[in-house]
Structure formats: C-alpha cells, structure tokens
Amino acid sequence: MEINKNIVNNLLNCERVAIFIHTNPDGDCLGSASALKQALVSLNKTVDIFSDSLIPENYNFIKYATEIKHDDNVDGYDLHVAVDCSEIKRIGKYSKFFNKIDNTICIDHHKTRVDFAKITHNEIVSSTALIIYYYIKEIAKMDKDIACALYAGISSDTGCFMHSNTTSLEHEISADLINYGFDLYNANENLFKYTTMGKFELNKRALMSAEFFANGKVGIFKLTQKDMIEANADESDTTGLVNQITNVNTCEIGIIIYEKEKGLFRCSLRSKGRVDVANIAEQFGGGGHANAAGCNIFGGLKTAVNKISSVCIKEINKLGL
C-alpha cells in the first residue's frame, strides 16, 4: 500500500489532534481511531476522539473506548482526522466543526464516497484499520494496545475473516498484530459473541418478521419503532442481525429494514458476493461496499419493502441468478 507523504507529515507535525468516528460506531472506526490516538500519544501529541453516538460497551476492551468525547468543545486542535467515514454527515453533529480548521484528513475504505477533507486517503480494502496499520508502521512504534485496536478493526470489517473481502493480507497483518501479545480470546469474545437482552429480544422479532422474495433469493427482516421499544433495544442492537437472513442457503441478498424514526426506514443490505448491493443502495441515495451497503427509504414500511425488494428482484433477474 502506498502511503500519502502529506498525511505522514501532517501526523508528525501536529500537536493537538481531534479524531472523529462515524455514528453507530463499529469495530473498524473505533479500532482505527484508538490505534491512531495511541500512536500519536506515543509521539507526545494531545489527542481526543469524538463520537456523536454512544459506544456499545462490548468495545470497552479497546483502549480509549471509554474516554471518547461527546461534547461540542472542539476547539484548539491543529489537526482534524476522520476515520472510516465516506462523507461528512457520517460524523453526525461534528460535521459542523470538522472544517472549521484548514488542516483536515480523512482515511477511509468505502467505495461510494464524497470527499470532505483537505487530504484523503481512500483505498478500497477490507477495513480502514488496515490502511491505518501502514501509517502507524511509518510514524510510530507498534505496541500491544495499537495492535489490539487494529485487530478489532480488521476482524470486524471482515466479519471475523469470513467476508469475501478477506485475503491472505488480512491474515498476515493480523498474525503480525497478534504477536504483540494482546488478549486475542477476549477481543474475539467481545467482538463476535457478546449480546444483550435487548439485542436478543430484537433478534426474536426480526426472525418472526422475515419475508422472502424471488424464490428465497432475497430475504428481508422488518423492524418497527414498536419492535425497538418492546425489545428495549436501540439502533446499535440491529448491527449484525442482517447476517442471519443472508445466511439462508437460498439467499443472495439479505436486508434489514428498521424504522429509525416515524416514516424513515433505514435499510442495511448484504450480499453473498454475486450481487453488488452498493449499486442497489445507490438507487435510493445510499451507498457502501459491494457486499454491504445501506440506504434510507421514506414512507411506510410496506412501501419501503416493495421498493427495495423490486429493485433487488430486478438485479437478481438481470444477473440470471
């Protein structure tokens, strides 16, 4: 991977850095931000991480995860860095602060994106943490905490090395990281096995709501605000549910549609690899990766299901699947 010398120089020459992660944070943005913070702290920089969302507690094993700031006091930094963000609105309320200084960097791996920083490193690889790994090797000394954070990022975005974006490179880099001696078992337990009662209850409701189209090639989970309230769940509890319907042997596309607010349905799409779901999401103004994408649909639940299923069926037919 070719690293951007301007980014390296900025990271080395800054003094106070604010790192921004996306809303509904995942292992990749948290791992990327934490690793970058630790590397910069080792170079005697002052670094804060900002998030517009609360951090799910299963990520507490990642260094600094419990010290992430949520306030509006974004003053006095000489460098702003956004990680794992395809467009400025992904950082939520911090989008109004990000470009208040000139020195801004974005490091990201999304295919569909709108540049918003002065310098961007965008590379279509499995995770942002993988890109950050190369920068950290260049600017600082790898340690156990950085290694753990980067592992969290790489393993999260590859679905524990099971998604089609996994190559030998993710395994090689992870092997290097594991050699720094962080608690691998604990990391995997927290990343891939942890659940809450709210999520479990939401899961039950998602399974009951399942609907299939195109002879089982498209599967859709539907969750309303009522489901969220009854399950005592929040948006972060929908993470990963979609995989369960995508896993059905007949499915090419798995979707979870949940009512984010009245009349606004958030769709997360997953593909087994033959359909590019970023193309589908883009038709609704969303985007993402070929195998994992998202979009918003406005209206009622029935309308949302009809709209997205018909585009999926069209895609399935076009590919002759």
For Mn ion, what does the binding mask look like between residues 6 and 45, x meaning CB under 5 A?
Answer: ----------------------x-----------------
SS3 45: coil
Q: In angstroms, what is the minimal distance from the CB of 169 to Mn ion?
A: 16
Cβ neighbours for 238, distance < 8 A, ≥ 6 positions apart: 202, 223, 256, 258, 268
Q: In angstroms, what is the minimal distance from the CB of 128 to Mn ion?
A: 5
Burial label for 179, CB within 10 Å (0-12, 13-18, 19+), is exposed
Q: For Mn ion, which is the closer residue by CB, 10 or 128?
A: 128
Q: In angstroms, what is the minimal distance from the CB of 27 to Mn ion?
A: 8
For Mn ion, what does the binding mask look like between residues 221 and 250, x meaning CB under 5 A?
Answer: ------------------------------
Q: For Mn ion, which is the closer residue by CB, 84 or 87?
A: 84
Under a CB-based contact definition with an 8 Å cutoff, are residues 301 and 259 in contact? yes
Q: In angstroms, what is the minimal distance from the CB of 108 to Mn ion?
A: 8
Told to check if 87 binds Mn ion by CB under 5 A, we report no
How many residues can be counted in the chain?
Answer: 321
Query: For the chain, give me the number of helices (H) and strands (E)?
Result: 12, 11
- Angstrom CA distances, 116 to 53, 82, 121, 202, 302, stand at 20, 10, 11, 35, 35
Q: Which of 300, 187, 281 is nearest to 242 (CA)?
A: 281
Q: For Mn ion, which is the closer residue by CB, 157 or 315?
A: 157
Candidates 48, 84, 145, 315: give the one binding Mn ion (CB under 5 A): 84
Distance separating alpha carbons of residues 132 and 121, to the nearest angstrom: 10
- With contacts defined by CB under 5 A, name the span among 121-129, 158-166, 181-189, 220-228 that binds Mn ion: 121-129
**Residues in a beta bridge with 253:** 218, 271
Candidates 48, 145, 157, 276: give the one binding Mn ion (CB under 5 A): 157
Q: For Mn ion, which is the closer residue by CB, 163 or 274?
A: 163
Q: For Mn ion, which is the closer residue by CB, 28 or 145?
A: 28
Where does this chain bind Mn ion (CB under 5 A)?
Answer: 28, 84, 128, 157
